[in-house]
Amino acid sequence: MKKFLTILFLCFSLASIAQDGTYEITDDSYKDQTVEMADIMRSNGKIYVVVAVIMILFVGLSAYTISVDKKISKLEKEVFKEKANS
């Protein structure tokens, strides 16, 4: 069953890579440097909300990682101490 699922997912991933439609890149493509979505969000002030949410997620994940690392270090010290006493 595991091999079947692996082969099935591999086939789906290969199908997603094989896309039709090529896009021709012209000189005009390089000249257009505007990003409409960012300009609209910046003009409405929403870009700051996006940046704030990303920063909150980054700080939260960093704090969680640091706390887990401290807990693991404490457990490792206890295990090594028990092995030394044995």
- Give residue-wise pLDDT tens across range 16-58: 555 555 667 777 767 766 767 777 877 888 888 889 999 999 9
> Is 86 domain-assigned?
yes
> Is 4 domain-assigned?
no
> Is 23 domain-assigned?
no
Give percent of the chain with pLDDT exceeding 90: 36
> Is 48 domain-assigned?
yes
> Is 14 domain-assigned?
no
Q: What is the pLDDT of residue 16?
A: 58
> Is 62 domain-assigned?
yes
Domain containing 53: what range? 42-86
10 Å Cβ neighbour count for 41?
A: 16
How many domains are there within the chain? 1
> Is 65 domain-assigned?
yes
Which position has the higher pLDDT, 6 or 69? 69
Tell me the Cα Rg of the chain. 25
Indicate the Cα dihedral angle 45, 47, 57, 66, nearest 10°.
-100
* 8-state DSSP, 81: H
> Is 61 domain-assigned?
yes
* Burial of 59 (C-beta count, 10 Å sphere; 0-12/13-18/19+): exposed
